[in-house]
Chains A and B, each alone.
Chain A
Amino acid sequence: SQELEQSPQSLIVQEGKNLTINCTSSKTLYGLYWYKQKYGEGLIFLMMLQKGGEEKSHEKITAKLDEKKQQSSLHITASQPSHAGIYLCGADMRGGSNYKLTFGKGTLLTVNP
Protein backbone atom coordinates (compact mmCIF):
# COMPACT_ATOMS: atom_id res chain seq x y z
CA SER A 1 0.00 0.00 0.00
CA GLN A 2 1.08 3.56 -0.65
CA GLU A 3 2.60 5.27 2.39
CA LEU A 4 1.43 8.68 1.18
CA GLU A 5 -2.02 8.84 -0.31
CA GLN A 6 -3.02 11.79 -2.43
CA SER A 7 -6.59 12.66 -3.30
CA PRO A 8 -8.10 13.21 -5.67
CA GLN A 9 -6.01 11.52 -8.36
CA SER A 10 -7.24 14.06 -10.87
CA LEU A 11 -9.29 17.21 -10.76
CA ILE A 12 -10.90 19.38 -13.41
CA VAL A 13 -12.08 22.83 -12.39
CA GLN A 14 -13.34 25.94 -14.08
CA GLU A 15 -11.07 28.97 -13.98
CA GLY A 16 -11.80 31.07 -10.91
CA LYS A 17 -12.91 28.17 -8.73
CA ASN A 18 -11.22 27.15 -5.47
CA LEU A 19 -9.87 23.65 -4.98
CA THR A 20 -8.17 21.48 -2.38
CA ILE A 21 -5.74 18.58 -2.74
CA ASN A 22 -5.05 16.27 0.17
CA CYS A 23 -2.05 14.22 1.23
CA THR A 24 -2.58 11.64 3.98
CA SER A 25 -0.44 9.15 5.85
CA SER A 26 -0.94 6.73 8.70
CA LYS A 27 2.51 7.69 9.96
CA THR A 28 3.90 10.92 11.35
CA LEU A 29 5.20 13.31 8.73
CA TYR A 30 8.40 14.93 9.95
CA GLY A 31 8.69 17.24 6.97
CA LEU A 32 6.08 17.70 4.28
CA TYR A 33 6.98 19.13 0.86
CA TRP A 34 4.66 20.21 -1.94
CA TYR A 35 5.95 20.20 -5.50
CA LYS A 36 4.37 21.02 -8.84
CA GLN A 37 5.25 19.25 -12.06
CA LYS A 38 4.38 20.36 -15.55
CA TYR A 39 4.23 17.79 -18.32
CA GLY A 40 7.69 16.88 -19.57
CA GLU A 41 9.43 18.86 -16.87
CA GLY A 42 10.92 18.37 -13.45
CA LEU A 43 9.40 19.16 -10.09
CA ILE A 44 9.23 22.72 -8.84
CA PHE A 45 9.29 23.33 -5.09
CA LEU A 46 6.22 25.07 -3.70
CA MET A 47 6.33 24.87 0.09
CA MET A 48 7.64 22.93 3.05
CA LEU A 49 5.82 22.37 6.34
CA GLN A 50 7.34 20.97 9.51
CA LYS A 51 5.30 21.84 12.56
CA GLY A 52 1.88 20.54 13.49
CA GLY A 53 -0.73 23.15 12.64
CA GLU A 54 1.65 25.04 10.39
CA GLU A 55 0.23 26.97 7.46
CA LYS A 56 2.06 28.72 4.63
CA SER A 57 0.84 30.76 1.71
CA HIS A 58 2.37 31.90 -1.51
CA GLU A 59 0.30 33.97 -3.89
CA LYS A 60 -2.96 32.01 -4.23
CA ILE A 61 -1.70 28.73 -2.85
CA THR A 62 -2.01 27.77 0.83
CA ALA A 63 -0.64 24.61 2.39
CA LYS A 64 -1.47 23.30 5.85
CA LEU A 65 -0.17 20.49 8.03
CA ASP A 66 -2.58 19.16 10.63
CA GLU A 67 -1.83 19.08 14.35
CA LYS A 68 -1.14 15.35 14.32
CA LYS A 69 1.26 15.78 11.38
CA GLN A 70 -0.40 13.05 9.38
CA GLN A 71 -2.31 15.05 6.82
CA SER A 72 -1.60 18.03 4.64
CA SER A 73 -3.80 20.00 2.30
CA LEU A 74 -3.00 22.30 -0.57
CA HIS A 75 -5.64 24.91 -1.34
CA ILE A 76 -5.73 27.05 -4.47
CA THR A 77 -7.94 30.10 -4.46
CA ALA A 78 -9.41 31.50 -7.68
CA SER A 79 -7.63 28.98 -9.89
CA GLN A 80 -6.03 30.01 -13.17
CA PRO A 81 -4.88 27.99 -16.19
CA SER A 82 -1.30 28.57 -15.00
CA HIS A 83 -2.07 26.42 -11.96
CA ALA A 84 -2.58 23.36 -14.15
CA GLY A 85 -0.12 20.52 -13.66
CA ILE A 86 0.63 17.62 -11.37
CA TYR A 87 0.90 18.36 -7.66
CA LEU A 88 2.98 15.97 -5.58
CA CYS A 89 3.46 15.78 -1.88
CA GLY A 90 6.68 14.36 -0.50
CA ALA A 91 7.44 13.62 3.10
CA ASP A 92 10.21 12.66 5.45
CA MET A 93 8.62 9.73 7.23
CA ARG A 94 11.53 8.70 9.38
CA GLY A 95 12.55 11.81 11.24
CA GLY A 96 16.04 12.30 12.61
CA SER A 97 17.04 14.67 9.82
CA ASN A 98 16.42 11.92 7.35
CA TYR A 99 17.15 12.72 3.72
CA LYS A 100 14.72 10.30 2.08
CA LEU A 101 11.48 11.70 0.81
CA THR A 102 8.55 9.43 0.09
CA PHE A 103 6.30 10.86 -2.61
CA GLY A 104 2.62 10.46 -3.30
CA LYS A 105 1.54 9.55 -6.81
CA GLY A 106 0.35 13.03 -7.57
CA THR A 107 -2.84 14.90 -8.38
CA LEU A 108 -3.40 15.98 -11.97
CA LEU A 109 -5.06 19.40 -12.04
CA THR A 110 -6.76 20.77 -15.15
CA VAL A 111 -8.10 24.31 -15.14
CA ASN A 112 -10.49 25.12 -17.93
CA PRO A 113 -10.61 28.74 -19.12
Chain B
Amino acid sequence: DARVTQTPRHKVTEMGQEVTMRCQPILGHNTVFWYRQTMMQGLELLAYFRNRAPLDDSGMPKDRFSAEMPDATLATLKIQPSEPRDSAVYFCASGSRRRGILPANEKLFFGSGTQLSVL
Protein backbone atom coordinates (compact mmCIF):
# COMPACT_ATOMS: atom_id res chain seq x y z
CA ASP B 1 0.00 0.00 0.00
CA ALA B 2 1.19 3.51 -0.76
CA ARG B 3 1.97 5.50 2.33
CA VAL B 4 3.50 8.75 3.52
CA THR B 5 6.82 8.07 5.24
CA GLN B 6 8.14 10.32 7.98
CA THR B 7 11.50 10.22 9.71
CA PRO B 8 12.50 10.17 12.46
CA ARG B 9 9.55 8.73 14.40
CA HIS B 10 10.89 10.15 17.65
CA LYS B 11 13.36 12.92 18.39
CA VAL B 12 14.61 14.14 21.73
CA THR B 13 16.88 17.14 21.65
CA GLU B 14 18.09 19.98 23.78
CA MET B 15 16.93 23.54 23.52
CA GLY B 16 18.86 25.46 20.90
CA GLN B 17 19.65 22.48 18.70
CA GLU B 18 18.58 22.19 15.08
CA VAL B 19 15.88 19.67 14.26
CA THR B 20 15.16 18.35 10.77
CA MET B 21 12.10 16.26 10.00
CA ARG B 22 11.67 14.51 6.67
CA CYS B 23 8.68 13.36 4.71
CA GLN B 24 8.31 11.25 1.60
CA PRO B 25 4.88 11.90 0.09
CA ILE B 26 2.96 9.31 -1.89
CA LEU B 27 4.21 9.07 -5.45
CA GLY B 28 1.99 11.09 -7.76
CA HIS B 29 0.52 13.33 -5.09
CA ASN B 30 0.91 17.03 -5.82
CA THR B 31 0.13 18.54 -2.42
CA VAL B 32 2.07 18.29 0.84
CA PHE B 33 1.00 19.60 4.21
CA TRP B 34 2.86 19.93 7.51
CA TYR B 35 0.70 19.84 10.65
CA ARG B 36 1.58 20.11 14.31
CA GLN B 37 -0.51 18.39 16.96
CA THR B 38 -0.57 19.31 20.64
CA MET B 39 -3.02 18.61 23.42
CA MET B 40 -3.79 22.29 23.85
CA GLN B 41 -4.15 23.41 20.25
CA GLY B 42 -5.03 20.21 18.45
CA LEU B 43 -3.96 20.02 14.80
CA GLU B 44 -2.52 23.20 13.34
CA LEU B 45 -1.48 23.73 9.74
CA LEU B 46 2.12 24.90 9.48
CA ALA B 47 2.84 24.80 5.75
CA TYR B 48 1.28 23.85 2.43
CA PHE B 49 3.00 22.97 -0.85
CA ARG B 50 1.45 22.39 -4.21
CA ASN B 51 3.56 21.04 -7.07
CA ARG B 52 6.58 21.62 -4.78
CA ALA B 53 5.88 25.35 -4.50
CA PRO B 54 5.30 26.75 -1.00
CA LEU B 55 1.88 28.40 -1.12
CA ASP B 56 1.19 28.96 2.53
CA ASP B 57 3.46 29.00 5.54
CA SER B 58 1.48 31.47 7.59
CA GLY B 59 1.13 28.96 10.41
CA MET B 60 4.87 28.71 10.99
CA PRO B 61 6.97 30.86 13.33
CA LYS B 62 9.07 32.46 10.62
CA ASP B 63 12.12 33.18 12.72
CA ARG B 64 12.85 29.55 13.56
CA PHE B 65 10.87 27.27 11.26
CA SER B 66 11.48 26.58 7.58
CA ALA B 67 9.89 24.13 5.15
CA GLU B 68 11.18 23.05 1.76
CA MET B 69 10.61 20.52 -0.99
CA PRO B 70 13.96 19.95 -2.68
CA ASP B 71 12.28 17.43 -4.99
CA ALA B 72 8.94 15.72 -5.46
CA THR B 73 9.91 12.83 -3.21
CA LEU B 74 11.13 14.81 -0.21
CA ALA B 75 9.70 17.49 2.03
CA THR B 76 11.60 18.83 5.03
CA LEU B 77 10.66 20.84 8.10
CA LYS B 78 13.47 22.44 10.06
CA ILE B 79 13.49 24.14 13.42
CA GLN B 80 16.52 26.22 14.33
CA PRO B 81 16.96 26.91 17.17
CA SER B 82 14.48 24.56 18.82
CA GLU B 83 12.63 25.54 22.01
CA PRO B 84 10.72 23.49 24.60
CA ARG B 85 7.42 24.95 23.34
CA ASP B 86 8.09 23.23 20.00
CA SER B 87 7.52 19.85 21.62
CA ALA B 88 4.66 18.24 19.73
CA VAL B 89 3.86 15.62 17.13
CA TYR B 90 4.56 16.83 13.61
CA PHE B 91 2.60 15.25 10.79
CA CYS B 92 3.17 15.32 7.08
CA ALA B 93 0.25 14.64 4.76
CA SER B 94 -0.01 14.40 1.00
CA GLY B 95 -2.90 14.50 -1.41
CA SER B 96 -4.05 15.39 -4.87
CA ARG B 97 -5.57 18.67 -5.90
CA ARG B 98 -7.49 18.73 -9.13
CA ARG B 99 -8.33 21.87 -11.03
CA GLY B 100 -11.89 22.38 -12.16
CA ILE B 101 -13.21 19.29 -10.42
CA LEU B 102 -14.98 19.21 -7.09
CA PRO B 103 -14.03 18.37 -4.51
CA ALA B 104 -10.77 20.11 -5.36
CA ASN B 105 -9.01 18.31 -2.56
CA GLU B 106 -9.07 14.57 -2.34
CA LYS B 107 -8.58 12.91 1.00
CA LEU B 108 -5.27 13.49 2.69
CA PHE B 109 -2.93 10.64 3.56
CA PHE B 110 -1.05 11.23 6.79
CA GLY B 111 2.30 9.90 7.86
CA SER B 112 2.81 8.40 11.31
CA GLY B 113 4.32 11.61 12.61
CA THR B 114 7.52 12.70 14.32
CA GLN B 115 7.20 13.01 18.07
CA LEU B 116 9.52 15.85 19.07
CA SER B 117 10.62 16.54 22.62
CA VAL B 118 12.77 19.60 23.24
CA LEU B 119 14.32 19.61 26.71
What residues make up the interface of A, taking CB atoms closer than 8 Å to B?
2, 31, 33, 35, 40-45, 48, 50, 88, 90, 92, 97, 99-101, 103-106
Contact = CB atoms under 8 A, between A and B. Distances in A.
Contact of B113 (A31, A41, A50): A41
A100 B105 CA distance: 10
Interface in B87-119: 91, 93, 97, 102-105, 107-113, 115
Contact of B104 (A42, A99, A106): A99
B82 to A, nearest CB: 21
Contacts of B48: 99-100
Identify whether the interface residues of B are mostly helix, strand, loop, or mixed.
strand
B56 interface: yes
Interface residues of B, number: 24
A42 B4 contact: yes
Given A42-B112, A99-B31, A105 B42 contact: yes
B24 to A, nearest CB: 13
A101 to B, nearest CB: 7
A99 B97 contact: yes
Given A31-B103, A33-B107, A99-B105, A42 B113 contact: yes
Given A48-B103, A97-B104, A99-B104, A42 B110 contact: yes
Contacts of B15: none
Given A100-B56, A103-B43, A104-B42, A50 B111 contact: no
B77 interface: no
B45 interface: yes
Contact of A50 (B42, B102, B115): B102
A40 B42 contact: no
Contact of A45 (B103, B108, B111): B108
